[in-house]
């Protein structure tokens, strides 16, 4: 996902200004011997700048997908998610607790995109432009942004699961939903998911560190050297966290719940649609209830579409995780990881398309904010149309 071969310069300073020519020659010979010995022992974990004199360029596919293609998607996604946060926290939308999940989902997707920009896109974009300052900034903040990115991704996954659980109860157990889903319980559930996401990824902030800042001869620029910490290299940590905990928590449990819950919701929506078609010849007095049922079905389909988009964009991540646990690290694996990173960015950017397609209220409020009609008259107009 990220290269760790980033190092820097070597400065040889004389310890005395009155050293004789012969002593200086001896010092230089000793220094040369030490440098040669260090170079012979160089590996990717060596922090000496002697071992990091060259900047390792990214592969062309990475630069294309995560640099040139991903940057405009990220910019669009950040603006779209900020807009969605504002819409879902509007008093008209926030009256429904299911929109609370979507507001938090938009916030977590925003954090995914911001951190992915610094960790994945900025260094590749900077390399393409030969703007090495961008790479320097990226590598400097990567130890923090990497942890933030993984935390936000966990939050996004479990907000998607949370909204599916909420909708399953509302559709498949409608008479118990009032008892099971009071607003205080929903608030506690969301806070619990956020807390779990943070705690589960605490160690992520201690997996990468800047070991040195070294001069790169081939680009004539100083660059931080990113390297894995002792924690990230610990065999027990790798086996337990990556081999079992991460796979189960981030893939097995969410995918199982999402597929099972949304299959039942979809079956209930189909039954409701058939019943609605049978009751078309009912009295005019039932028109209001039919309209409400139609809105409920539309909301369910919208949430199912969000889940399908999530599964489509994250299935490859599951595959990459399995390959990594099996020890795969070839060119095919690196290509799959690059493609997976782009799909995660797309997933975090495109939920707005689903909202616009299925939600009348969302479209109305979006027009309201795009036209900047924030006057009292505009607010009353929106309220009158949506109520």
Beta strands, E only, 189-287: 208-216, 221-228
Q: Give the model's pLDDT for residue 9.
A: 32
Class of the domain covering 45-279+290-376:
mainly alpha
Q: How confident is the model at residue 179 (pLDDT cuts 50, 70, 90)?
A: confident
Mean pLDDT across the stretch 299-306? 89
Question: What is the pLDDT, as a whole number, of residue 258?
Answer: 94
pLDDT (mean) for 212-224 = 92
Average pLDDT over residues 318-335: 85
Where does the pLDDT of residue 38 fall: very low under 50, low under 70, confident under 90, or very high at 90 and above?
Answer: very low
Instruction: For residues 42 and 35, give the distance between their C-alpha atoms in angstroms, rounded to a whole number.
Output: 10
Angle, in degrees to the nearest 10, between helices 98-116 and 331-349: 130
CA–CA distance, 101 with 310 (Å, rounded to integer): 15
Task: Determine the average pLDDT of the residues in 144-158.
Answer: 96
Calpha distance 47→42 (Å, rounded): 9
Report whether pLDDT(4) > 80: no
The pLDDT confidence band at residue 85, using thresholds 50, 70 and 90, is: very high
**What does the pLDDT look like over 43-54, one tens digit per residue?**
666 777 877 788
pLDDT over 50 (residue 24): no
pTM over 0.85: no
C-alpha–C-alpha distance, residues 115 and 127, integer Å:
18
The Cα–Cα gap between 326 and 336 comes to 15
CB-based contact 339:316 (threshold 8 Å): yes
Round the average pLDDT of the chain to a whole number and report it. Answer: 82
pLDDT tens by residue, 98-132: 999 999 999 999 999 999 999 999 999 999 999 99
Predicted local confidence at residue 353, as pLDDT: 94
**pLDDT value at 193 more than 80:** yes
Percent of the chain with pLDDT over 70: 79
pLDDT for the residue 376: 52
**Mean pLDDT of all residues in 161-190:** 90
How high is the pLDDT of residue 278? 53
- Looking at per-residue pLDDT, the higher value among 85 and 361 belongs to 85
Please tell me the total number of residues recorded for the chain in this structure: 387
Q: Is the per-residue pLDDT at 150 higher than 60?
A: yes
Could you tell me the residue ranges of all domains in the chain?
A: 45-279+290-376
Q: Flag whether pLDDT at 26 surpasses 80.
A: no
User: Taking CA 233 as the corner, what is the angle to CA 53 and CA 124, rounded to the nearest 5 degrees?
Assistant: 45
Contact in structure between 212 and 7 (CB atoms under 8 Å): yes
Cβ atoms of 42 and 50 within 8 Å: the answer is yes
Q: Mean per-residue pLDDT for 223-239?
A: 90
pLDDT cut 90: percent of the chain above it:
53
> Quick check: helix, strand or coil at residue 111?
helix
């Amino acid at each position: 996902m990220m290269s760790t071969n980033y190092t820097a310069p070597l400065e040889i300073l004389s310890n005395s200004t009155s050293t004789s020519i012969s002593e200086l020659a001896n010092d230089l010979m000793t220094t040369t011997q030490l440098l040669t010995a260090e170079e012979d022992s160089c590996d990717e974990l060596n922090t000496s700048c002697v071992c990091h004199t060259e900047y390792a360029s990214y592969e062309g596919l990475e630069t294309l997908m995560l640099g040139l293609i991903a940057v405009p998607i990220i910019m669009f996604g950040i603006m779209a998610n900020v807009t969605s946060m504002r819409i879902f926290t509007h008093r008209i939308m926030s009256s429904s607790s299911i929109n609370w999940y979507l507001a938090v989902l938009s916030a977590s997707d925003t954090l995914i995109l911001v951190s992915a920009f610094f960790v994945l896109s900025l260094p590749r974009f900077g390399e393409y432009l030969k703007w090495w300052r961008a790479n320097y900034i990226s590598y400097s903040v990567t130890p923090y942004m990497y942890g933030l990115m993984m935390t936000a991704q966990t939050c996004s996954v479990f907000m998607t699961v949370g909204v599916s659980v909420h909708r399953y109860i509302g559709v498949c157990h409608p008479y118990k939903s009032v008892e099971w889903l009071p607003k205080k319980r929903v608030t506690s559930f969301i806070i619990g998911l956020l807390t779990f996401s943070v705690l589960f990824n605490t160690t992520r902030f201690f997996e990468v560190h800047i070991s040195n800042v070294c001069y790169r001869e081939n680009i004539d620029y100083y660059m931080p050297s990113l390297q894995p910490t002792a924690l990230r290299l610990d065999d027990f940590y790798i086996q337990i966290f990556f081999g079992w905990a991460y796979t189960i928590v981030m893939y097995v449990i969410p995918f199982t719940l999402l597929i099972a819950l949304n299959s039942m919701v979809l079956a209930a929506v189909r039954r409701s649609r058939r019943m609605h078609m049978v009751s078309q010849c009912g009295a005019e007095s039932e028109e209001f209830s039919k309209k409400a049922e139609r809105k409920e079905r539309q909301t369910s389909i919208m949430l199912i579409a969000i889940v399908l988009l999530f599964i489509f964009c994250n299935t490859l991540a599951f595959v990459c995780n399995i390959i990594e646990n099996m020890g795969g690290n070839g060119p095919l694996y690196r290509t799959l990881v690059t493609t997976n990173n782009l799909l995660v960015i797309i997933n975090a950017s495109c939920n707005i398309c689903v909202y616009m397609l299925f939600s009348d209220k969302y479209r109305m409020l979006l027009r309201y904010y795009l036209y900047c009609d924030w006057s009292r008259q505009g607010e009353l107009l929106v309220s009158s149309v949506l109520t």
